[in-house]
Homo-oligomer: A and B are copies of this chain.
Amino acid sequence: MKSTQYLRHNRHKIKLVEPLLPMDTFTGQPLDRAALDSLLRRRMFYASAFDIYGGVSGLYDYGPPGCSLQANIVDTWRKHFILEEDMLEVDCTMLTPHDVLKTSGHVDKFSDWMCKDPKTGEIFRADHLVEEVLEARLKGDKDARHLEAGAAAAVEETAKDVEDGGDKKKRKKKVKDIKVVKLDDNVVQEYEEILAKIDNFDGPALGEIINKYQIKNPGTGGDLEPPVAFNLMFGTSIGPSSNLPGFLRPETAQGQFLNFQKLLVFNNEKMPFASASIGKSFRNEISPRQGLLRVREFLMAEIEHFVDPENKSHPRFPEVADSVTLNFLSKEVQQAGQTKIIRKTIGEAVREGMVDNETLGYFLARISLFLKKIGVNESKIRFRQHMENEMAHYASDCWDAELQTSYGWIECVGCADRSAYDLSVHQKKTGQYLGVRETLKEPRVVEEWDVAIHRPTLGPRYKKNAKAVEERLVQCSNQKEREKWAETLKGGDTVSVLVEGVGKLDIGGDLIKVERIKRTESTREYTPNVIEPSFGIGRILYSLMEHVFWTREEDVNRAVLSFPPNIAPTKVLLVPLSNNPQFNPLVTSMAARIRQLGISNRVDASGATIGKRYSRNDELGTPFGITIDFQSLKDNTITLRERDTTKQVRGTVDEVLETLKRLVEGTETWDETLKKLPIFEGQEVDD
């Protein structure tokens, strides 16, 4: 199942090949994640949900700046994709009846493997447990060998400080269990091989590994039960009689597929078109870690671009073909065990066939432009292609936009060609047509393989199964199969066909005739293919915060979040020199004027020093500050400060507000401002 894989595959797939590198900030300092996290919680970008009740793993609330940041990212997304491309936005329910997700494959396949300790009742996610234990043993081995800790230590470090609310105790127990024991060389190699392939094991395979390598409950040493599948959807029951089981949706995509026919009509039957949806989805993680990167309730923004499978060109592809250059990590490179990035234009990538088609390529380029627009560091974006074994059987190509963070490269956007899979299965299940009927400009002659049944033979031979056999042979056979049958039958042999519910049958030329025929069509019917860019907004938001975090050279405690103005939670801070009430009228009128310009602002009229108040707002990522001092009351001039440089200019209220508007809109840069308005060196105090 593609969507399962999209949501799951990219945990550690290539971790050992690609050791976790220490992250640096964009000023070149090493990233201090603990300091960042402390800032994010202190300034209420986020908080553990239900904190006063002890918290629940994997559930977080966004406080005011986080909420505003999220709203600005979503707003930019809506303009960049929905408005720019005339997409059809829909808002579908999260509650979803069982049958829909049974059809889509989620009921059967959207699961992880878990092991229970029957004594303590603790539950472990099987792949994570194997990883943690083997990594700890390798670490112990390295220590024992007096080797430099290097990459393994970095990995260890990661596991150690990914802590959140509910699971703290359990986690700590696991990690402490590192014994300095030297392993045999061949054991080290076996461990490394297992870790490299950790995502490819199913439950029974994980169970074998757990047995073979004596993996126990790390806290107690107790035995574990064999892995069982745990479905990751939150179940519930719709209505009073408990007879309509349902789930919280694991993705927004299904609601869009179910509305396909109505959307096509809304679009005046014109193809191709895209629908889009922004909303929460849910995954009942077994034991979520990695803070905001792996949560149980998350905001997604998904596009379903419906396209003619015979024509995946895109009219706007030329706009990006030569101008957008991306960092590619192709499947060939990965299959050779490497992580080498290839930089090229999206035009080249499509021409060379590395990216399957123009529409997919167009979206990869647009995704990159979007990420840069919101302030993601371009050098920390790469497009990783799915390897053959990662992709669903029906997918033709799939790329993830991964962002580099202190947790490694994190899949933040998936961009897959889901083919006709979803529309086909829902159509089959419901009997409702989910396709396109296109009147051909000119009738066309189609040559194809036709299956004719000899009825006098069919009925008597298969009796009550006759209908099923006929359906299998006629409705459920494709052109490729028919061509094979024709060849076999021509040689006088019988073909072996599996009929569901009946068995394997030998079918001979007495029952079917398979021939090449010609017929004229005036309409064409097809099930559209779907190209799906799917954004995890929370992951993007967190990665962005890592990318824009840094601390001032002169004082490591003065941290800054350098959000671009369009994304910053608040655009400007209004600071009267002191809490002297004389300033109030001017502050109030300025705040109202700035609000009228559509620019969000906050006033800090507290008694703290100007320097402290600005530091506080550097941490909130507010790009501009306006200081009102005693001079302002006399001559109506004010000071404008820029967050990253801390430089200030001075001008009249009108001059500064006009400048501010251009800076926030992005039509003027700070460098330009510095040339226009006189530099001011005054109030800012360093304490």
- Residue positions of A touching B, CB distance < 8 A: 43-44, 47, 49-53, 56-57, 59-64, 66-68, 70-71, 78, 83-84, 86, 88-97, 99-100, 114, 116, 121, 123, 230, 234-241, 243-244, 246, 248, 255, 258-259, 261-263, 265-266, 268, 280, 282, 284-287, 296-297, 426, 430, 432, 434, 595, 600, 602, 604, 606
Contact = CB atoms under 8 A, between A and B. Distances in A.
A578 to B, nearest CB: 15
Given A56-B244, A238-B56, A83 B297 contact: no
Given A44-B262, A53-B258, A600 B83 contact: yes
Given A64-B266, A92-B61, A266-B63, A284 B49 contact: no
Majority SS at the chain A contact face? mixed
Q: A63, A287, A602 — which one has the most chain B CB atoms within 10 A of its CB?
A: A63
Nearest to A96: B50
Contacts of A604: 268
Contact of A94 (B52, B92, B280, B606): B280
Contact of A100 (B50, B230, B240): B50
For the complex of A and B, the 4 pairs showing the least CB-CB separation, nearest first, are: A52-B432, A62-B91, A61-B92, A64-B88
A282 B240 CA distance: 14
Given A53-B258, A63-B90, A121-B241, 19 more contacts: A49-B93, A49-B255, A51-B259, A52-B426, A61-B91, A61-B259, A63-B259, A67-B91, A83-B595, A84-B595, A86-B602, A94-B280, A95-B297, A234-B237, A234-B238, A239-B284, A239-B285, A248-B248, A268-B604
B238 A235 contact: no
Contacts of A244: 56
Contact of A297 (B52, B89, B93, B97): B93
Given A83-B600, A97-B56, A100-B53, A286 B61 contact: no
A240 B93 contact: no
Contact of A237 (B83, B99, B235): B235
6 contacts: A47-B259, A52-B261, A61-B93, A63-B266, A235-B236, A240-B286
Nearest to A234: B236
Nearest to A266: B44
Nearest to A265: B44
Contacts of A66: 91
Nearest to A592: B84
Contacts of A426: 52
Contacts of A266: 43-44, 63-64
Nearest to A246: B56
Nearest to A61: B92
A284 B238 CA distance: 7
A248 B282 CA distance: 12
Contacts of A239: 57, 123, 284-287
A97 B50 contact: yes
B92 A49 contact: yes
A59 to B, nearest CB: 5
A95 B282 contact: yes
A26 to B, nearest CB: 27
Contacts of A243: 121
A50 B254 CA distance: 10
Q: A70, A96, A97, A595 — which one has the most chain B CB atoms within 10 A of its CB?
A: A97
Contacts of A263: 44, 63-64
Contacts of A50: 96-97, 100, 258
Nearest to A112: B240
Contacts of A62: 90-92
Nearest to A591: B86
Nearest to A87: B64
B49 A296 contact: no
A63 B262 contact: yes
Given A50-B258, A234-B236, A296 B95 contact: yes
A602 B244 CA distance: 40
A3 B95 CA distance: 22
B83 A63 contact: no
A426 B268 CA distance: 54
Contact of A430 (B52, B94, B606): B52
Contacts of A88: 63-64
A240 B70 CA distance: 29
Nearest to A620: B266
Q: A61, A71, A246, A285 — which one has the most chain B CB atoms within 10 A of its CB?
A: A61
Contacts of A97: 50, 53, 56
B123 A240 contact: yes
A622 to B, nearest CB: 14
A528 to B, nearest CB: 16
